[in-house]
Chain A
Amino acid sequence: MRVLLIEDDSLIGDGIKVGLSKLGFTVDWFDDGADGKEALLQTPYDAVILDLGLPTIEGLDILKAWRNAGLDTPVLILTARGDVDERIKGLNSGADDYLGKPFALKEVQARLNALIRRRNGVTKPLIHFKNITFAPDTKTVTLDGEKVTLAPREVALLELLLLNKNKVLSKETIENKLYSWDEDVASNAVEVHVHHLRKKLGKDIVKTINKIGYTLED
């Protein structure tokens, strides 16, 4: 899951980026509202975390601009002020959920998962595929009821494929979802991750569609 984070506070921004990355998200962090606004127009993010207390440009204005441009990416707003009016204004401007400071990282994760799940039409907290069960909230994978340990990037790839079941995802799309802008991507990185998934979950789990990409097929 690739997430856009717009937060001007360096310690909070860094914390969310490091924490969510550890939890299997791919995070692009912008401390400037204008750059962040532009980023969503360029990249297919799964969700956005938007701080409303940005100094130069109002967070709400960015949100309205996105919605006006037809972008329907789920947006979680962060507010420092606890007052109800601002939350209502945020939700009315197109936000999908809000969190008031001070919040816990785990809560950010839970809310993001809920938003992404809803967006992908999955309402159940567990995703089943063949003999595999995936829990998006805890990012745990079981094979025939046995817990399988996957690296964060492998979890992200599996989740991506599960949420796009029966669709073919190109290598480029997968790279975009798995890596943030500031990461160098090795040319065979996706192949390596697919290889690991097959080794841990079974040979036939991921299908390669030649020259196009990868998919999970029922």
Chain B
Amino acid sequence: MHKFKVIPRLSALLNRINAKILKFSLCFRLMFFFALVSSIVWGIAGYISYKETRESIDEFFDTYQLVLARQLAAADWSAVSPNTQHITDKLIKNVENADEEDEAIGFAVFSPDGKMIFHDNENGEHFRFAPQSFGTFNNELINDDDDKWRLLRLYSADGKYIITVGQELEYREDVAMDIVEEFLAPWIIGFFVLLLAIAGLTYSEFRPLKKLALAINNRSADDLSPIDIQKSPIEVKPLISAMNHMFQKIATLLQRERSFISDSAHELRTPLTALKIQLEIVQMADDDAQMRQQALLKLQKGIERAERLVEQLLALSRLEADNGHYDNVEPLNWKEICEHLIDEYRLMVKNKTISLIAEDGAQPPFTTGNHILTALLIRNLLDNAVKYSPNNAHITLKISDGEFTVINSDTVVDEAILQRLTERFYRPAGQKETGSGLGLAIAQRIVELYHCQLIFENSTEGFRVIVKAKSSTL
């Protein structure tokens, strides 16, 4: 049970570490994870190799012990008694100064009654007598020592004596440790070399990114030319490509904005000129009251026109900029919007009639959308119909299946003009009505937002403007 809880905990810990060092540089993160992973991997590798070495060393020394024990077993111990120990002691003392390796090995010979009759004068002296487990290796404690020894017991060849050969286990561990340390030492040095190499490599490999940052930093604000993608490494290419794509989009948008501003500024010149001239006339009218009165009326008309132009410009600019992301999408009641607008226009327009035909159960070209935009669309179409139709004309708004139509009776629009109606600021010749030339451009934009199209046509019932869902034409 506990075992399975460890893994999620570990991964949570890693996540926490990751989140903390995320804010550091990539170089640092790379080095951190390299150090972490290589420590774990080499730790495991070191442990495994220690275990393996330890086993090999056990085998090796066990064999060594066995050979020694057999040789001792082959000797004739009958002449030996505890009293003869001092002879060997002398012998051993003679070689003590030799530069031999202390292999912490020892032996002792016991008589069957448990008396030690001979030992190596070193560690064997402390071996305990035990008349059992012959021929196998046992890890046991010996006298005067806290560490365990590995002991092998054999009967001598004549079966009268018990030969005991032992080696300190700690020694074996030390040897195994030495071997593993020697094996790991170059790896530990290598670890630091690699760490340095990674630091150097990441620094140099991230140079393209630094160069890119510098190149972008040094750019002037309106320089949107694409960055050269050829000289960059493959990993950086998608980033540059994405940025180039972005630059292009910004450039297009900027171009559109600039031309819109410049168009708008030009279009504002005309109403401004009109205002300026009419104001001059007011000033030079002197005592001509009628002239002044006329000019003031025209001044007012001019101001209203400029106001309308500014409003239309704002509406169009917002429509272009928001790219159709309008909030407040709601079910639309076309009939209600039309009725409301017609009531409003009937008050202003005395010499023309306006009516609404809503076919039963007809689905308008789009049924959900922004109420204000839809009202603006219908208003612009109705406004145009009212302005550019002769006196006593009849204007009909018609909601039929998939279509919304505005019909001006007794109106024919020239084919050449039809093509240009939705151009911004386009106003056909000989207009007595003042307009911004933006109404239909705005209508066109709104219609596009709702995936519809605007169709202009002359028909037997008059000039028709149709809002039609695009899919329904297929």
Contact = CB atoms under 8 A, between A and B. Distances in A.
B277 A80 contact: no
A16 interface: yes
A105 B280 contact: yes
A9 B433 CA distance: 9
B256 interface: no
B413 to A, nearest CB: 13
Interface in A73-103: 80-82, 100-103
A80 B270 CA distance: 7
A9 B280 contact: no
- Interface core residue of B271, B273, B298, B302 (most chain A CB under 10 Å): B273
Given A55-B426, A105-B280, A15 B270 contact: no
The DSSP consensus for interface residues of chain B is helix
Interface residues of A, number: 30
Interface string B420-453: 0000001111111010000000000000000000
B281 A10 contact: no
A32 B429 contact: yes
Give the interface residue-count category, chain B: 20 to 34
A81 B291 contact: no
Contacts of A82: 266
B281 A18 contact: yes
Interface string A10-21: 111011101100
B308 interface: no
B281 A32 contact: no
Given A55-B426, A80-B270, A104-B276, A15 B281 contact: yes
Contacts of B395: none
A48 B285 CA distance: 24
Given A8-B430, A33-B429, A55-B427, A104 B274 contact: no
Contact of A105 (B267, B281, B285, B305): B281
Given A32-B430, A105-B276, 11 more contacts: A10-B432, A11-B277, A11-B305, A14-B298, A15-B298, A31-B429, A32-B429, A55-B426, A81-B266, A103-B273, A104-B276
25 contacts: A8-B430, A8-B431, A10-B432, A11-B271, A12-B273, A15-B280, A15-B281, A18-B281, A18-B291, A19-B277, A19-B284, A22-B284, A31-B429, A31-B431, A32-B430, A33-B429, A53-B270, A55-B428, A57-B429, A80-B270, A101-B269, A101-B272, A102-B269, A105-B280, A105-B281
